[in-house]
């Protein structure tokens, strides 16, 4: 179990888009170890999701936990392909902006195409607002977008 340091805003790696992972690199031990370390770090921090740039790695990889469980999933090179039902996420926090909370415009449901940790392509249709919010938050990170960019701070 390796716990990695979470990078905080305004570090350059947090505010710049990440690079896609070439498909032929996904099964390399360095990527698989990174994914396991990201899950360990996310779990240890109590977060629901973590993007690779939040731990200083310029790769388009995110891990997330289904709320209410300890089940983690990995998305590599994720792209949102559909958005349904605009909502406001109230009091959304971020591991890279500790102690601050924001109201953010999100969608109730999204579809995301991505590769999994085995390099297999798939499309995910979120079934809950919570998972939709987590995925939008982490994909924003991979695109160099923070809560400061698209949220209204609440004190």
Neighbours of 12 (CB within 10 A): 9
**Is 120 noted as a catalytic residue in this protein?**
no
For 55, the 3-state DSSP assignment is: helix
Closest CA to 43 of 97, 78, 6, 75: 6
Report how far residue 52's alpha carbon sits from residue 34's, in angstroms, rounded to the nearest whole number.
8
- Return the closest-CA partner of residue 79 out of 123, 46, 39: 123
Q: Could you give the CA distance from residue 132 to residue 143 in angstroms, rounded to a whole number?
A: 16
Write down the catalytic residue from 25, 113, 120, 138: 138
Residues with active-site annotation:
138
């Amino acid at each position: 179990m390796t716990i990695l340091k979470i990078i905080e805003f305004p570090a350059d790696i947090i505010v710049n888009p990440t690079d896609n992972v070439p498909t032929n690199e996904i099964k390399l031990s360095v990527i698989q170890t990174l994914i396991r370390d990201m899950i360990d770090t996310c779990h240890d921090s109590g977060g629901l999701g973590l993007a690779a740039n939040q731990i200083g790695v310029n790769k388009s990889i995110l891990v997330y936990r289904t709320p209410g469980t300890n089940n983690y999933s990995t998305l590599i090179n994720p792209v949102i392909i559909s958005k349904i039902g605009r909502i406001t996420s109230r009091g959304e926090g971020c591991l890279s902006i500790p102690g601050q909370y924001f109201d953010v415009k999100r969608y109730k449901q999204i579809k995301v195409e991505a590769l999994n940790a085995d390099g297999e392509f798939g499309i995910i249709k979120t079934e809950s607002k919570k998972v939709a919010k987590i995925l939008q938050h982490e994909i924003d990170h991979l695109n160099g977008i923070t809560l400061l960019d698209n949220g209204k701070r609440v004190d």
